[in-house]
Amino acid sequence: MPYPFQITSLDQYHQDHKKSVDDPEGFWGNIADNFLWKQKWQKVLNWNFKEPKIEWFRGGKLNITENCIDRHLAEMGEKPAIIWEPNNPEERTRIVTYNRLHKRVCQFAQVLRNNGVKKGDRVCIYMGMIPELAYAVLGCARVGAIHSVIFGGFSAQSIADRLEDAQAEYIVTCDGAYRGGKDIPLKSVIDDALVGNKKVKRVIVYTRTRTPVSMIKGRDVWWEDEMEHAEAQVEKQGVVSFPAEEMDAEDPLFILYTSGSTGKPKGVVHSSAGYMVWTTYTFVNVFQYKPGEIHFCTADIGWITGHSYIVYGPLSAGATSLMFEGIPTWPDAGRFWDIVAKHKVNILYTAPTAIRSLMGFGDEPLKDKDLSSLRILGTVGEPINEEAWHWYDEKIGHKNCPIVDTWWQTETGGTLISNLAGVTPAIPSWASLPMPGIQPVLVDENGHEVTEKDEHGHLKGNLCIKAPWPGILRTTYGDHERCRKNYFATYENLYFTGDGALKDDKGNYRITGRVDDVLNVSGHRIGTAEVENAINMHAGVVESAVVGYHHDIKGQGIYAYVIFQGRHINDEMTRMDILQTVSRIIGPIAKPDKIQFVTGLPKTRSGKIMRRILRKIAEGELDSLGDVSTLLDPAVVDEIKNNRL
């Protein structure tokens, strides 16, 4: 058996889950023994959810990059770590072996050091999906700097807010990025984000699109120059080395910003050791990875899925991770299938929104595509509807590939609830069983465990977790109280996920979606308050309310009700102005799908917006609005109903 902690049968799953609950320290201590430590831990787990304080492997010293790279070199140095597929299929594929990855990461770590980066410094990374992005991430980890990767779809304003929140002093970016038919001018967005910023000392710029950029003297340097210079420093007589910083198990590894129910995104902080153990363990078990296989996770490294299942999990397991620069529908809707055939992909991990979108193109893009290398399929990011699940199973898996439906969150670091491919049963649209170490509980509004079953024999409630697992977030950057309030204060002594779920009598979970004011649009998390703030920035907007509604492809669409009293030529132009404002403030991903102009919003006498009513109207459930008599102005509901888009 290649991985000593690999679960290979349903029985073993049950035994391991039980062990992990009965004796978490013994269980995780054994698993952690399979990693490379500079010094062994003294205590496996120390925690309380009150503060919260969570420490895994306290006293242990390590560097995650030695686990992701160095320890594989002796046996697998010439095996591919990363296979890179460019946006343009005519461009050459790049294969990065573990040796090459080692060299590049050492070189980039040296570049960071040459530019003054020290352990604990925050480095913001804003790049397209190219191998250099992985080098940048791992280079930070090598010197002990905390990376904060920002997805390329965020605006200058969003970057500025994140730079400020993290007090970042360094940026790594590209001149531009290719995504489908578009070139995105990343450096120019960074320049906008840096107007007025006094904290950032250095911007390192990699050339990808060779688009004109303004390089500011004393601040901006070229990646290529810096790497060339560093090469001689890290390579002596053909031997490459850069000493990996000794990190405490609990030292922060990275910050990743994510939306919540308040206006401002929070910087989720993950630790070094616990995160490493969790991503590796879940990667190997959920996908039942076998050495030599090619794993293709289609996410962007700007999101947690890319951090955990393109970079850290697979590399720590010594896997081959395929990284794709482009999008599924360019140059045509057969692109994923071409990539699967070209690189003989074994594991394909993607989002339901991508599946639904590709399903919409029919069978034509699948014609003559050789998908026979596929062994395992996975989904992540949002609930998958049964129709999409069956399409994935039949058309892509040819009913031969187990599908794993992995439920997790930015905050959880890796998968918490999922079937294990081919080992535990798959049930369409059910995430199914908790991973070892995970103790879910469904509670009602008051935090009491639900006991009453519905007509299908299911329990239904708000999904919480009773005890920490190694990959749980440790804090929200710069504001621990915010972390406590957001996740640990709703229900005493529980981690609250923000999701609702059902549970059947075999212990399987089905995630029904968010129960807070967070939307999930195409698998991207967006807070309604955040979108409202952005809309309200537009000069003519008096007030707005944003809700989600069912969208066939995106899962959820964004529906905005807007009171507008500004200069107005016609609705369409004002809508475009509002969309432009949202793009500027957050980014194109947060643009509402529908904007309805209203003269008032349904509010209670205490001034609270009744979102329940707005949600129902957006969904078209006009006959089940419920009691509106407690509203300040019930007449406004009729107006909104009549003008519904």
| 149 near ligand WT7, judged by CB under 6 A | no
Contacting residue, 68, 355, 380, 521, with ligand WT7 by CB under 6 A: 380
Contacting residue, 132, 175, 251, 405, with ligand WT7 by CB under 6 A: 405
Contacting residue, 85, 161, 382, 530, with ligand WT7 by CB under 6 A: 382
Check residue 300 and report its DSSP letter. -
Contacts of 91 (CB under 8 A, 6+ apart): none
| CA angle 634–639–644, rounded 5-degree value | 125
Check residue 92 and report its DSSP letter. P
Measured in whole angstroms, how far is the alpha carbon of residue 523 from the centre of its chain?
9
Q: What is the closest distance, in whole angstroms, from the C-beta atom of residue 393 to ligand WT7 in the complex?
A: 15
Q: Where are the strands (E) in 433-575, listed by range? A: 440-443, 459-465, 475-476, 495-503, 509-514, 518-521, 524-527, 541-551, 555-564
d(CA 139, CA 441): 39
DSSP bridge partners of 294: 320
Q: What is the closest distance, in whole angstroms, from the C-beta atom of residue 174 to ligand WT7 in the complex?
A: 24
| β-pairing verdict for 440-443 and 376-380 | unpaired
Would you tell me the crossing angle of helices 571-585 and 156-166 to the nearest 10 degrees? 30
| 527 near ligand WT7, judged by CB under 6 A | no
Q: Segment near ligand WT7 (CB under 6 A), from 203-211, 284-292, 333-341, 402-410?
A: 402-410
Q: What is the closest distance, in whole angstroms, from the C-beta atom of residue 258 to ligand WT7 in the complex?
A: 5
Q: What is the closest distance, in whole angstroms, from the C-beta atom of residue 307 to ligand WT7 in the complex?
A: 10
Contacts of 175 (CB under 8 A, 6+ apart): 185, 186, 187, 205, 206, 207, 208, 209, 210, 211, 213
| 532 near ligand WT7, judged by CB under 6 A | no
DSSP bridge partners of 171: 124, 203
In the three-class reduction of DSSP (H, G, I as helix; E, B as strand; rest coil), residue 332 is classed as coil
Backbone dihedral angles phi then psi of residue 208, each to the nearest 5 degrees: -115, -50
Closer Cβ to ligand WT7, 98 or 408, answer by number: 408
| 279 near ligand WT7, judged by CB under 6 A | no
Closer Cβ to ligand WT7, 422 or 513, answer by number: 513
- Binding string, residues 474-513; x marks residues near ligand WT7 by CB under 6 A: -----------------------xxx-----------x-x
| 525 near ligand WT7, judged by CB under 6 A | yes
Closer Cβ to ligand WT7, 176 or 397, answer by number: 397
Q: What is the closest distance, in whole angstroms, from the C-beta atom of residue 390 to ligand WT7 in the complex?
A: 16
| 282 near ligand WT7, judged by CB under 6 A | no
Tokens 């090469």 belong to which residue?
A: 231
Backbone dihedral angles phi then psi of residue 397, each to the nearest 5 degrees: -85, -10
d(CA 63, CA 260): 31
What does the CA dihedral 596, 600, 606, 609 come to, rounded to 10 degrees? 0
| 389 near ligand WT7, judged by CB under 6 A | no
Q: What is the closest distance, in whole angstroms, from the C-beta atom of residue 191 to ligand WT7 in the complex?
A: 28
Check residue 93 and report its DSSP letter. P
| 60 near ligand WT7, judged by CB under 6 A | no
Closer Cβ to ligand WT7, 173 or 282, answer by number: 282
**How many residues bind ligand WT7, per CB under 6 A?**
22
Contacting residue, 67, 486, 520, 544, with ligand WT7 by CB under 6 A: 520
- Binding string, residues 290-329; x marks residues near ligand WT7 by CB under 6 A: --------------xx------------------------
| 381 near ligand WT7, judged by CB under 6 A | yes
Closer Cβ to ligand WT7, 158 or 258, answer by number: 258
| CA angle 634–638–641, rounded 5-degree value | 130
Answer yes or no: are the C-beta atoms of 594 and 557 closer than 8 Å: yes
Measured in whole angstroms, how far is the alpha carbon of residue 87 from the centre of its chain?
21
- Residue 325: which H helix or E strand, with range? none
d(CA 228, CA 233): 9
Measured in whole angstroms, how far is the alpha carbon of residue 82 from the centre of its chain?
19
Closer Cβ to ligand WT7, 86 or 381, answer by number: 381
Q: What is the closest distance, in whole angstroms, from the C-beta atom of residue 260 to ligand WT7 in the complex?
A: 10
Closer Cβ to ligand WT7, 320 or 520, answer by number: 520
Torsion sign across C-alpha atoms 96, 99, 100, 106 = positive
Q: What is the closest distance, in whole angstroms, from the C-beta atom of residue 349 to ligand WT7 in the complex?
A: 11
| 250 near ligand WT7, judged by CB under 6 A | no
What region, left, alpha or beta, does residue 478 occupy, with left being phi > 0 and alpha being psi -120 to 50 degrees?
left
| 68 near ligand WT7, judged by CB under 6 A | no
Closer Cβ to ligand WT7, 406 or 544, answer by number: 406
Q: What is the closest distance, in whole angstroms, from the C-beta atom of residue 435 to ligand WT7 in the complex?
A: 13
Peptide bond into 425 cis (omega under 30): no
Measured in whole angstroms, how far is the alpha carbon of residue 488 from the centre of its chain?
21
Q: What is the closest distance, in whole angstroms, from the C-beta atom of residue 508 to ligand WT7 in the complex?
A: 13
| 265 near ligand WT7, judged by CB under 6 A | no
Q: What is the closest distance, in whole angstroms, from the C-beta atom of residue 497 to ligand WT7 in the complex?
A: 6
d(CA 409, CA 444): 21
- Binding string, residues 409-448; x marks residues near ligand WT7 by CB under 6 A: xx--------------------x-----------------
HSE, CB side, 13 Å, CA atoms: give it for residue 47: 22
Closer Cβ to ligand WT7, 554 or 575, answer by number: 554
Closer Cβ to ligand WT7, 525 or 616, answer by number: 525
Closer Cβ to ligand WT7, 469 or 564, answer by number: 469
Closer Cβ to ligand WT7, 288 or 410, answer by number: 410
Q: What is the closest distance, in whole angstroms, from the C-beta atom of residue 616 to ligand WT7 in the complex?
A: 20
Q: What is the closest distance, in whole angstroms, from the C-beta atom of residue 287 to ligand WT7 in the complex?
A: 14
d(CA 204, CA 471): 30
Measured in whole angstroms, how far is the alpha carbon of residue 170 from the centre of its chain?
22
Closer Cβ to ligand WT7, 356 or 525, answer by number: 525
Q: What is the closest distance, in whole angstroms, from the C-beta atom of residue 308 to ligand WT7 in the complex?
A: 8
- The DSSP secondary structure of 161-216, one letter per residue, reads HHHHHHT--EEEEES-EEETTEEE-HHHHHHHHTTT--S--EEEEE-SS-------
Q: What is the closest distance, in whole angstroms, from the C-beta atom of residue 263 to ligand WT7 in the complex?
A: 17
Give 466: exposed, middle or buried? Use CB within 10 Å, 0-12, 13-18, 19+. middle
**Residues found near ligand WT7 in the complex (CB under 6 A):** 258, 304-305, 380-383, 405-410, 431, 497-499, 511, 513-514, 520, 525
